[in-house]
Homo-oligomer: A and B are copies of this chain.
Amino acid sequence: MARWQPDAPGRLAAAALDLFEENGYENTTVIEIAERAGLTKSTFFRHFPDKREVLFDKGTVTGLLVDGIASAPPTAGPLDAVADALDALGRTFFAEDRREFSGRRQAVLNANTELREREALKRIDLTASMIEALNRRGVPGLTARVAATLGTLAWEIAFDQWIGSDNSEGFGPLARRALDAVRAAGAEC
């Protein structure tokens, strides 16, 4: 078996996504994933702590969001800072070339409860990171919690639109509009 080919984690992730699409998550074995990537079970678990994690990137999104919140203008309110961060995310991570992949990945996630569960945990941890970032801007506890929660909701809405529409206008603008809509809906509660 040929060793030393580059980017083992990337090959494993690609193989996993393919197999999950073909046969479903539950009907796919870690050994099968590893074999398709030209590797072994041992190596799979050396790169990913468990089978689910192969579909999740390691904190780069969180980092981008936290940085985006931190670097928003000091005059910006909590939700404005979140909007800036989502916009930054749209420029760097949720770029057009990643849209098809994101859609495929999300379809796989939606099809399996175990994966949805992992996604739910990631979402909570992400929200917690946003709260911390807002706290560091001086936003008081509860306000930060509300802003981060609404920001996560806007993210979710914008993401669904982004992977759904064809002639898309990019994640950033969609997120801004979603956040405005959420803000408006919150006002009339």
B185 to A146, Cβ gap below 8 A?
yes
Copies in the complex: 2
Question: Smallest CB–CB gap between A107 and chain B, Å?
Answer: 18
- Taken together as a complex, chains A and B put the C-alpha atoms of A124 and B127 apart, in Å, by 14
Count chain B CB atoms within 10 A of each CB in A124, A149, A185, A189 and give the residue with the most.
A189
- A147 / chain B contacts, CB cutoff of 8 Å: 189
Residues 70-84 of chain A: 1 if any B CB is under 8 Å from the residue's CB, otherwise 0? Answer: 000000011100000
Closest-by-CB residue of B relative to A80 is B189
Interface size on A, residues (CB 8 A): 28
- A120 / chain B contacts, CB cutoff of 8 Å: 117, 120-121, 123-124
Closest-by-CB residue of B relative to A118 is B117
Count chain B CB atoms within 10 A of each CB in A79, A118, A150, A183 and give the residue with the most.
A150
- A142 / chain B contacts, CB cutoff of 8 Å: 157, 181-182, 185
The 9 closest A-B pairs by CB, nearest first: A120-B120, A117-B121, A146-B185, A79-B189, A143-B185, A120-B121, A142-B185, A186-B186, A120-B124
- By a beta-carbon cutoff of 8 Å, the part of chain A in contact with chain B is 77-79, 113, 116-118, 120-121, 123-124, 142-143, 145-147, 149-150, 153, 157, 181-183, 185-189
